[in-house]
Amino acid sequence: MELKVYDSKGKDTGRTVKLSKEVFAIEPNEHAVYLAVKQYLANQRQGTHKAKERGEVRGSTRKIKKQKGTGTARAGAIRNPLFKGGGRVFGPRPRNYSFKLNKKVKQLARKSALSSMLKDGNIMVVENFELEAPKTKEFAKVLKSLDLDNKKSTFVFVNPNKNVYLSSRNLPNSKLVNGLSLNTYEILNAGKLVISEDSISKIEANF
């Protein structure tokens, strides 16, 4: 499988880059993709949610009324969850949502995601480019040249230029990531995956 290489102005350079079948042309494993995305999203959760139960809310422990003879249900304390201001029944507690996923499953998921994106025609290869100064306007021109100004895109560089990174931060529909730490969620969450020319071989070696 070969893809054309474009420059930062959106013009065809006349060169092509060959993609490895072992990385970009496998039969996608949907379950591996599901597990990898699930793990990534679970790892983003802080898990610091907490609600006070009846033993933790402020209030007297005095029995608020006699046990019998009132015609209503018995009640032991004002902190009863049934009363306003009482504790919550089985409220959330701090916990860790992360879970282990085997390295080979993660690799399979990334390959599956890349293969799906390539099959759908959502991968583009651009030659390496740099910006002289960190200006959002300059990076916006690159997006417009590549016809990505109104589309969601993720740029993949192994060694990104600092000015390119700083120029892309304020654009809501565009993101720049390091190819060596590229994960399944970032691949699938990109409307268009734009990979720099020199990053292809390093991504293939890493995956």
Tens-place pLDDT, residues 110-165: 999 999 999 999 999 998 888 888 899 998 998 998 998 888 999 998 877 788 88
Q: Boundaries of CATH 3.40.1370.10 in the chain?
A: 2-45+98-206
Predicted local distance difference test score (pLDDT) of residue 184: 94
Pull the structure tokens for residue 75: 């009640």
Tens-place pLDDT, residues 48-92: 999 999 999 999 989 999 999 999 999 989 999 999 999 999 999
pTM of the model: 0.82
Residue 39 has pLDDT above 90, yes or no: yes
Residues 73, 88: Cα–Cα separation, whole Å:
19
Predicted local distance difference test score (pLDDT) of residue 15: 86
Closest CA to 109 of 192, 197, 166, 182: 182
Architecture in CATH for domain 2-45+98-206: 3-Layer(aba) Sandwich (3.40)
Instruction: Assign residue 121 a region (left: φ > 0; alpha: ψ between -120 and 50; beta: otherwise).
Output: left
